[in-house]
Amino acid sequence: MLVCVLYAGRTREGGKLKAIADSLAHGIASQGHQVDVVNIYDGETRLTPYDYVVIGSEPVSFFSAAVPANIQKFLAQAGTVSGKRSLAFISGGLRKNKTLLNLMKTMEGEGMILKLSEVITKPEVAQAIGKRLNVERNL
């Protein structure tokens, strides 16, 4: 299966979020899947060929529950995302559950099918989730 792990942090570099995205990708790859890790700020990536899409984010500020507006803009220009099975995760913030809900609403607004949503704060946890994530098609 072809999997894309997207992340959009508060800054272009991503910091801790990038480490979590890389660990999650490593866990998924250990199941034998091909995984691409993409920073949303690095430009356009077409999601049409991917079987499963993972999107990770941070709130725009520690006290906020909003996710970066770039996520919705990216998804609108990423090709066919409607019907894609997906996972949403966030890496922290004071209102992490509300932030996760906002990310899920953004993804579902584009027609993505959420199979799992998580608050992931450590790379080790991300890798464990990746190792047990079921990305196979539901036939």
> What is the count of structural domains for the chain?
1
The helix/strand/coil state of 29 is helix
Burial of 63-78, coded b for 16+ CB within 10 Å and e otherwise, reads ebbebbeebeebbeeb
Biggest distance spanned by C-alpha atoms of the chain: 42
The helix/strand/coil state of 124 is helix
For 56, the domain range is 2-61+69-132
DSSP structure class, residue 90: E
**pLDDT in single tens digits along all 139 residues of the chain:** 899 999 998 777 768 899 999 999 999 999 999 999 999 988 778 999 999 999 999 888 878 888 888 888 888 888 888 889 999 999 977 888 999 999 999 999 999 999 999 999 999 999 999 999 988 765 4
Q: How is residue 128 written in tokens? A: 């464990």
Which CATH number characterizes residue 14's domain?
Answer: 3.40.50.360
